[in-house]
Structure 1
Amino acid sequence: MSLSGKLETDVELKASAQQFHEVLCSRPHHISNVSPSKIQGVQLHQGEWGKEGSVIICNYIHDGKAKVSKEQVEKIDPVNNSVTYKVIEGDLLNEYKSFKITVQVTPKGTGSVSHWTYEYEKLHPGISHPETLLQFAAELSKEIDSHLTSAK
Protein backbone atom coordinates (compact mmCIF):
# COMPACT_ATOMS: atom_id res chain seq x y z
CA MET A 1 0.00 0.00 0.00
CA SER A 2 1.40 3.34 -1.09
CA LEU A 3 1.70 6.09 1.49
CA SER A 4 1.94 8.76 -1.22
CA GLY A 5 -1.20 10.33 -2.57
CA LYS A 6 -2.66 13.07 -4.70
CA LEU A 7 -6.12 14.61 -4.43
CA GLU A 8 -7.61 17.21 -6.77
CA THR A 9 -10.78 19.24 -7.05
CA ASP A 10 -12.14 21.99 -9.28
CA VAL A 11 -14.27 24.90 -8.12
CA GLU A 12 -16.21 27.09 -10.56
CA LEU A 13 -15.75 30.80 -9.82
CA LYS A 14 -17.45 34.00 -10.96
CA ALA A 15 -14.30 36.04 -10.26
CA SER A 16 -11.54 36.30 -12.84
CA ALA A 17 -8.55 34.00 -12.67
CA GLN A 18 -6.29 37.00 -12.01
CA GLN A 19 -8.45 38.29 -9.11
CA PHE A 20 -8.56 34.93 -7.36
CA HIS A 21 -4.86 34.20 -7.92
CA GLU A 22 -3.91 37.63 -6.60
CA VAL A 23 -5.73 36.99 -3.31
CA LEU A 24 -4.12 33.56 -2.77
CA CYS A 25 -0.68 34.67 -3.88
CA SER A 26 -0.24 38.28 -2.78
CA ARG A 27 -2.99 38.94 -0.23
CA PRO A 28 -3.60 35.72 1.76
CA HIS A 29 -3.60 37.82 4.95
CA HIS A 30 -6.95 39.26 3.81
CA ILE A 31 -8.64 35.84 3.68
CA SER A 32 -9.37 35.90 7.43
CA ASN A 33 -11.60 38.94 6.77
CA VAL A 34 -13.47 37.01 4.06
CA SER A 35 -13.79 33.67 5.86
CA PRO A 36 -13.20 34.12 9.61
CA SER A 37 -14.92 30.81 10.41
CA LYS A 38 -12.21 28.96 8.43
CA ILE A 39 -9.12 31.19 8.45
CA GLN A 40 -8.26 32.86 11.74
CA GLY A 41 -5.24 34.67 10.40
CA VAL A 42 -2.31 34.55 7.98
CA GLN A 43 0.97 36.16 8.95
CA LEU A 44 4.13 36.75 6.96
CA HIS A 45 6.93 34.98 8.81
CA GLN A 46 9.75 35.59 6.34
CA GLY A 47 10.17 37.32 2.97
CA GLU A 48 7.54 39.39 1.14
CA TRP A 49 3.91 38.80 0.24
CA GLY A 50 3.62 37.29 -3.23
CA LYS A 51 7.30 36.29 -3.51
CA GLU A 52 8.77 32.80 -3.96
CA GLY A 53 10.66 31.59 -0.91
CA SER A 54 8.50 33.57 1.50
CA VAL A 55 7.14 31.78 4.56
CA ILE A 56 3.63 32.31 5.90
CA ILE A 57 1.88 31.01 9.00
CA CYS A 58 -1.80 30.18 8.63
CA ASN A 59 -4.12 29.71 11.62
CA TYR A 60 -7.26 27.86 10.52
CA ILE A 61 -10.21 25.83 11.79
CA HIS A 62 -10.54 22.34 10.30
CA ASP A 63 -12.96 19.69 11.52
CA GLY A 64 -13.87 21.98 14.41
CA LYS A 65 -10.29 22.26 15.70
CA ALA A 66 -7.88 25.19 15.65
CA LYS A 67 -4.81 24.30 13.61
CA VAL A 68 -1.60 25.93 12.37
CA SER A 69 0.32 25.50 9.15
CA LYS A 70 3.68 27.04 8.31
CA GLU A 71 4.13 27.11 4.54
CA GLN A 72 6.85 28.15 2.15
CA VAL A 73 5.79 29.70 -1.15
CA GLU A 74 7.57 27.26 -3.42
CA LYS A 75 6.51 28.46 -6.87
CA ILE A 76 4.48 31.32 -8.33
CA ASP A 77 3.46 31.30 -11.98
CA PRO A 78 1.64 34.57 -12.79
CA VAL A 79 1.13 33.58 -16.45
CA ASN A 80 -0.83 30.44 -15.49
CA ASN A 81 -2.25 31.95 -12.27
CA SER A 82 -0.80 29.22 -10.08
CA VAL A 83 0.89 29.11 -6.71
CA THR A 84 2.44 26.18 -4.85
CA TYR A 85 2.89 26.03 -1.08
CA LYS A 86 5.04 23.47 0.72
CA VAL A 87 4.04 22.78 4.33
CA ILE A 88 7.20 22.98 6.44
CA GLU A 89 5.74 22.92 9.99
CA GLY A 90 2.42 22.54 11.74
CA ASP A 91 -0.47 20.20 12.41
CA LEU A 92 -0.50 18.57 8.97
CA LEU A 93 2.99 17.21 9.56
CA ASN A 94 1.67 15.24 12.54
CA GLU A 95 0.05 12.92 9.98
CA TYR A 96 1.95 13.55 6.76
CA LYS A 97 5.67 13.31 6.04
CA SER A 98 5.21 15.89 3.29
CA PHE A 99 2.32 18.03 2.08
CA LYS A 100 2.21 20.33 -0.95
CA ILE A 101 -0.72 22.51 -2.05
CA THR A 102 -1.00 23.84 -5.60
CA VAL A 103 -3.77 26.14 -6.77
CA GLN A 104 -4.11 26.99 -10.45
CA VAL A 105 -6.87 29.29 -11.66
CA THR A 106 -7.92 29.09 -15.31
CA PRO A 107 -10.15 31.59 -17.10
CA LYS A 108 -13.48 30.11 -18.20
CA GLY A 109 -16.21 32.14 -19.88
CA THR A 110 -16.98 35.16 -17.72
CA GLY A 111 -15.39 33.56 -14.64
CA SER A 112 -12.73 30.97 -13.91
CA VAL A 113 -12.04 27.57 -12.36
CA SER A 114 -9.74 27.03 -9.39
CA HIS A 115 -7.97 23.67 -9.50
CA TRP A 116 -6.63 22.54 -6.12
CA THR A 117 -4.05 19.76 -5.92
CA TYR A 118 -2.78 18.18 -2.72
CA GLU A 119 0.33 16.00 -3.00
CA TYR A 120 1.28 14.24 0.20
CA GLU A 121 2.97 11.30 1.87
CA LYS A 122 1.27 9.82 4.92
CA LEU A 123 3.38 8.85 7.94
CA HIS A 124 1.71 5.41 8.14
CA PRO A 125 -1.15 3.47 6.48
CA GLY A 126 -3.58 4.30 9.33
CA ILE A 127 -3.69 7.98 8.29
CA SER A 128 -6.67 8.90 6.14
CA HIS A 129 -6.46 10.79 2.87
CA PRO A 130 -7.14 14.54 3.34
CA GLU A 131 -10.57 14.57 1.66
CA THR A 132 -12.12 16.81 4.34
CA LEU A 133 -9.25 19.28 3.87
CA LEU A 134 -9.93 19.32 0.13
CA GLN A 135 -13.61 20.04 0.86
CA PHE A 136 -12.40 22.83 3.17
CA ALA A 137 -10.43 24.33 0.24
CA ALA A 138 -13.46 24.11 -2.06
CA GLU A 139 -15.69 25.88 0.47
CA LEU A 140 -13.02 28.51 1.08
CA SER A 141 -12.75 29.10 -2.68
CA LYS A 142 -16.48 29.76 -2.87
CA GLU A 143 -16.32 32.21 0.05
CA ILE A 144 -13.40 34.12 -1.51
CA ASP A 145 -15.23 34.14 -4.86
CA SER A 146 -18.40 35.46 -3.26
CA HIS A 147 -16.42 38.25 -1.60
CA LEU A 148 -14.62 39.19 -4.82
CA THR A 149 -17.78 39.30 -6.90
CA SER A 150 -20.04 41.03 -4.36
CA ALA A 151 -17.55 43.78 -3.53
CA LYS A 152 -18.23 45.40 -6.89
Structure 2
Amino acid sequence: MRIQCRSVYRKRLEAVVEIKSSADKVYSLISREHHNVPKASSDNIHDVAVHEGDWETSGSIKLWKYTIDGTVESFKEKVEIDDANKKVSLTALDGHVLEKYKSYKIIFQVIPKSNQGANVAKITLEYEKHNESDQLPNNYFNVVVNIIKDIDAHLIAS
Protein backbone atom coordinates (compact mmCIF):
# COMPACT_ATOMS: atom_id res chain seq x y z
CA MET A 1 0.00 0.00 0.00
CA ARG A 2 1.36 3.40 -0.97
CA ILE A 3 0.34 6.48 0.94
CA GLN A 4 0.98 9.92 -0.47
CA CYS A 5 0.99 12.76 2.01
CA ARG A 6 0.32 16.28 0.80
CA SER A 7 0.48 19.35 2.95
CA VAL A 8 -2.67 21.43 3.17
CA TYR A 9 -0.50 24.51 3.62
CA ARG A 10 1.13 24.28 0.16
CA LYS A 11 -0.15 27.01 -2.17
CA ARG A 12 0.70 28.99 -5.30
CA LEU A 13 0.18 32.47 -6.67
CA GLU A 14 0.31 33.17 -10.40
CA ALA A 15 0.39 36.23 -12.64
CA VAL A 16 0.87 36.85 -16.35
CA VAL A 17 2.60 40.10 -17.30
CA GLU A 18 2.62 41.41 -20.86
CA ILE A 19 6.14 42.43 -21.89
CA LYS A 20 6.94 44.84 -24.70
CA SER A 21 10.64 44.08 -25.00
CA SER A 22 12.17 41.05 -26.68
CA ALA A 23 11.19 37.75 -25.04
CA ASP A 24 14.74 36.48 -25.66
CA LYS A 25 16.29 39.48 -23.89
CA VAL A 26 13.98 39.14 -20.87
CA TYR A 27 14.71 35.43 -20.68
CA SER A 28 18.46 36.01 -20.96
CA LEU A 29 18.40 38.54 -18.13
CA ILE A 30 16.34 36.36 -15.76
CA SER A 31 18.22 33.16 -16.57
CA ARG A 32 21.89 34.09 -16.98
CA GLU A 33 22.30 37.77 -16.20
CA HIS A 34 21.07 38.09 -12.60
CA HIS A 35 23.94 40.50 -11.98
CA ASN A 36 22.03 43.02 -14.14
CA VAL A 37 18.78 42.80 -12.17
CA PRO A 38 19.84 45.48 -9.62
CA LYS A 39 20.42 47.89 -12.55
CA ALA A 40 16.96 47.16 -13.92
CA SER A 41 15.09 47.15 -10.60
CA SER A 42 17.18 49.18 -8.15
CA ASP A 43 14.19 50.09 -5.96
CA ASN A 44 13.68 46.40 -5.22
CA ILE A 45 16.99 44.56 -5.69
CA HIS A 46 20.22 45.93 -4.21
CA ASP A 47 22.71 43.16 -4.95
CA VAL A 48 23.05 39.68 -6.41
CA ALA A 49 26.21 37.63 -5.92
CA VAL A 50 27.24 34.13 -6.93
CA HIS A 51 27.71 31.95 -3.86
CA GLU A 52 28.45 28.66 -5.69
CA GLY A 53 28.76 27.96 -9.39
CA ASP A 54 28.42 30.81 -11.87
CA TRP A 55 25.89 33.14 -13.48
CA GLU A 56 24.90 30.75 -16.26
CA THR A 57 24.61 27.19 -14.93
CA SER A 58 21.63 25.35 -13.49
CA GLY A 59 22.33 24.40 -9.90
CA SER A 60 24.30 27.58 -9.18
CA ILE A 61 23.53 29.29 -5.90
CA LYS A 62 23.13 33.05 -5.57
CA LEU A 63 22.64 35.51 -2.74
CA TRP A 64 20.16 38.35 -3.25
CA LYS A 65 19.64 41.51 -1.18
CA TYR A 66 16.30 43.22 -1.66
CA THR A 67 13.81 45.50 0.07
CA ILE A 68 10.39 44.31 1.14
CA ASP A 69 7.99 46.56 3.05
CA GLY A 70 10.83 48.99 3.76
CA THR A 71 13.13 46.33 5.23
CA VAL A 72 16.31 44.99 3.60
CA GLU A 73 16.29 41.19 3.48
CA SER A 74 18.42 38.45 1.95
CA PHE A 75 17.55 35.41 -0.13
CA LYS A 76 19.84 32.48 -0.93
CA GLU A 77 18.55 30.48 -3.87
CA LYS A 78 19.38 27.65 -6.20
CA VAL A 79 18.61 28.35 -9.86
CA GLU A 80 17.26 25.82 -12.34
CA ILE A 81 17.26 26.85 -16.01
CA ASP A 82 15.04 25.19 -18.63
CA ASP A 83 16.02 26.72 -21.99
CA ALA A 84 13.59 24.56 -23.99
CA ASN A 85 10.62 26.12 -22.16
CA LYS A 86 12.26 29.50 -21.37
CA LYS A 87 11.65 28.77 -17.69
CA VAL A 88 13.75 29.72 -14.64
CA SER A 89 13.11 28.47 -11.10
CA LEU A 90 14.62 30.02 -7.98
CA THR A 91 14.28 27.77 -4.94
CA ALA A 92 14.92 29.31 -1.52
CA LEU A 93 17.71 27.65 0.46
CA ASP A 94 18.10 30.27 3.19
CA GLY A 95 17.07 33.81 4.05
CA HIS A 96 14.35 35.87 5.63
CA VAL A 97 11.58 34.39 3.50
CA LEU A 98 12.19 30.94 5.03
CA GLU A 99 11.60 32.39 8.48
CA LYS A 100 8.04 33.07 7.30
CA TYR A 101 7.44 30.11 4.97
CA LYS A 102 8.49 26.47 5.07
CA SER A 103 9.28 26.50 1.34
CA TYR A 104 9.44 29.22 -1.30
CA LYS A 105 10.03 28.89 -5.04
CA ILE A 106 9.71 31.52 -7.77
CA ILE A 107 9.17 30.30 -11.33
CA PHE A 108 9.50 32.64 -14.31
CA GLN A 109 8.47 31.54 -17.78
CA VAL A 110 8.84 33.81 -20.79
CA ILE A 111 6.39 33.01 -23.56
CA PRO A 112 7.12 34.62 -26.96
CA LYS A 113 4.19 36.02 -28.86
CA SER A 114 2.33 33.81 -31.24
CA ASN A 115 0.20 35.11 -34.09
CA GLN A 116 -0.95 38.61 -33.09
CA GLY A 117 -0.45 38.14 -29.33
CA ALA A 118 2.09 39.80 -27.07
CA ASN A 119 5.16 38.43 -25.33
CA VAL A 120 4.31 37.50 -21.76
CA ALA A 121 6.09 36.51 -18.60
CA LYS A 122 4.27 34.01 -16.43
CA ILE A 123 5.25 34.27 -12.77
CA THR A 124 4.44 31.54 -10.28
CA LEU A 125 5.20 31.61 -6.58
CA GLU A 126 4.97 28.23 -4.89
CA TYR A 127 5.14 28.35 -1.12
CA GLU A 128 4.28 26.35 1.93
CA LYS A 129 3.10 27.99 5.12
CA HIS A 130 4.30 26.86 8.53
CA ASN A 131 0.72 27.22 9.82
CA GLU A 132 -2.61 27.83 8.13
CA SER A 133 -2.92 31.16 9.98
CA ASP A 134 0.32 32.51 8.42
CA GLN A 135 -0.10 35.43 6.03
CA LEU A 136 -0.14 34.96 2.28
CA PRO A 137 3.12 36.11 0.61
CA ASN A 138 1.34 38.79 -1.41
CA ASN A 139 3.99 41.40 -0.58
CA TYR A 140 6.78 39.12 -1.85
CA PHE A 141 4.77 38.21 -4.94
CA ASN A 142 4.07 41.87 -5.76
CA VAL A 143 7.80 42.63 -5.60
CA VAL A 144 8.57 39.75 -7.97
CA VAL A 145 5.91 40.96 -10.44
CA ASN A 146 7.31 44.51 -10.22
CA ILE A 147 10.83 43.21 -10.91
CA ILE A 148 9.64 41.71 -14.22
CA LYS A 149 7.95 45.01 -15.11
CA ASP A 150 11.15 46.88 -14.23
CA ILE A 151 13.25 44.50 -16.33
CA ASP A 152 10.91 45.04 -19.29
CA ALA A 153 11.08 48.83 -18.93
CA HIS A 154 14.89 48.69 -18.56
CA LEU A 155 15.26 46.63 -21.73
CA ILE A 156 12.97 48.94 -23.69
CA ALA A 157 15.02 51.96 -22.57
CA SER A 158 18.38 50.35 -23.46
1:62 aligns with 2:68: yes
Q: How many residues align?
A: 150
TM-score by length of 2: 0.90
- Name segments (4+ residues, structure 1) moved above 4 Å: none
TM-score by length of 1: 0.93
Query: Is the contact between residue 17 and residue 111 of structure 1 (CA under 8 Å) also seen in structure 2?
Result: no
The unaligned stretches of length 5 or more in structure 2 are 1-6
- RMSD, matched Cα: 1.4
Q: More deviation in 27-36 or 88-97?
A: 27-36
Percent identity between matched residues is 33
Q: Write the deviation string for residues 71-114 of structure 1: whole angstroms up to 9, x where unpaired.
A: 001x2111221111110000010011111111000012575111
Corresponding residue of 1:116: 123
1:46 aligns with 2:52: yes
The unaligned stretches of length 5 or more in structure 1 are none
Distance 1:110 1:33 in 2: 28
Q: 1:126 aligns with which of 115, 119, 133?
A: 133
Corresponding residue of 2:83: 78
Corresponding residue of 1:107: 112
Query: Is the contact between residue 15 and residue 111 of structure 1 (CA under 8 Å) also seen in structure 2?
Result: no
Higher strand share: 1
Distance 2:103 2:78 in 1: 12
Q: Aligned AA for 1:40?
A: H
